[in-house]
Amino acid sequence: LDHKTTRLNTMPTATLSIIYGLASALVWGAGDFCGGLATKQTNVYRVVLLAHGLGVVIMAACALLFHERAPTPSDLFFGVTGGIAGLVGLLAFYQGLSQGNMGVTAPVAAIVTAVIPIVVGAVKEGAPPPLQLLGFGLALAAVWLLAGSTNLASARWREFRLPVLAGMGFALFYVLFDNVGVGSVFWPLTGARIASVLILGLIVGRAPRKGFPARTQWPIVALAGLFDAAGNIFFVLAAQAGRLDIAAVLSSLYPATTLLLARFLLDERLTPLQRWGAGLAVAALMMIAA
């Protein structure tokens, strides 16, 4: 174990950033898959509340287990505000799905989520090499296709408001957590989850007391919370190990995991566009990692 840890610590930071970014996409996609299954029979806000509540326990336990240093006020500030921004994005995303159609909400939110960190990363750290820029472009196209970009031509302008707000919320989560001090991971994420649980608790508390997951759904909700927590951890590690834009773009490829799980576990067929999206995602990864 010590030998493996030493090898991991001696890897170039750019390589670590790519590994962590991909790990974030894998587990975030699995979390979305589990959350999607849970919300088919239960109110989405209650599922997210329980999943984020589990996230508080996981993050705090990891902070204690790995003896993470006490967070600075700055780290907690960026953690809490990042958690609030991410929750606003999540609520806007689900509201957009309920009011519009997924063919508009999912791809628009995904693109805004990835584009803003690319711009911020270029301003803070300078433009990446041309090959990585091309990889970013292919990754954006992949996210667009994987998210199921259909019916955009017939969409009305007001249908774009909630998806754009969702993407801005998710992107702001990325940007704010990029400002957390290196080595401070679990405590800021604990603060983020506490903030989202408190806000969701107020929302759920004002609603009729019905619709909490049945006991048979608890395992899938727990998996959603576990994967979501892991995705957040891997993203923060990716952002701390390398550039924000690389971490954000790779993490944004999570729909590929969700689609593959749906294909192999639920026997759902991929559309031709989604297959193209998966191929572009692989090509983008090769260019970004070059």
Q: What is the DSSP code (8-state) at residue 10?
A: T
- Residues 201, 121: Cα–Cα separation, whole Å: 34
Q: Is the pLDDT of residue 68 over 90?
A: yes
| 7 within domain boundaries | no
**61 — pLDDT class (breaks 50, 70, 90):** very high
pLDDT of residue 83: 95
Q: Which two tokens stand for residue 266?
A: 């639920």
267 falls in which pLDDT band (50, 70, 90)? Answer: confident
Higher per-residue pLDDT: 110 or 152 = 110
pLDDT of 151 higher than 80:
no
User: What's the CA gap between 82 and 77, in Å, rounded?
Assistant: 8
pLDDT at 117 over 80: yes
Report the pLDDT value the prediction gives residue 190, as an integer from 0 to 100: 97
Q: What is the pLDDT of residues 81-100, one digit of tens each?
A: 999 999 999 888 888 776 76
Classify residue 230: in a domain, yes or no.
yes
Say if residues 175 and 65 touch (Cβ distance below 8 Å). no
Tell me whether residue 11 is in a domain: no
Q: Which of 70-79, 108-117, 210-219, 263-272 is predicted least confidently?
A: 210-219
More confident residue, 175 or 182: 175
pLDDT at 42: 78
- Residue numbers of the domain that contains 36: 16-289
Phi, psi of 269 (to 5 degrees): -90, 140
Residue 148: predicted pLDDT: 66
In a domain, 280, yes or no: yes
Contact 29, 254 (CB under 8 A): yes
Is residue 2 a part of any domain in this protein? no
Task: Look at residue 6 and tell me if it is in a domain.
Answer: no
Q: Which residue, 220, 221, 227, 281, is CA-closest to 30? A: 227
The pLDDT assigned to 109 comes to: 83
In a domain, 128, yes or no: yes
Answering whether pTM is above 0.75, one says yes
Please give the tally of structural domains in the chain: 1
Q: pLDDT per residue over 204-246, tens digit each?
A: 888 766 667 777 888 998 999 999 999 999 999 999 998 999 9
- With bands split at pLDDT 50, 70 and 90, how would you rate the model's confidence at 53? very high
Look at residue 254 and tell me if it is in a domain: yes
Quote the mean pLDDT of the chain: 85
Residue that has been written with the tokens 């989850």 in this structure: 193
Residue 10 pLDDT level (bands cut at 50, 70, 90): low
What pLDDT shows up at residue 256? 84
Among 256, 239, 289, 281, which residue's Cα sits nearest to residue 21? 239
- Cα–Cα distance measured from residue 149 to residue 273, given in angstroms and rounded to the nearest whole number: 9
What's the pLDDT band for 103 if we cut at 50, 70, 90?
low
Q: By the 8 A CB rule, do 145 and 274 touch?
A: yes
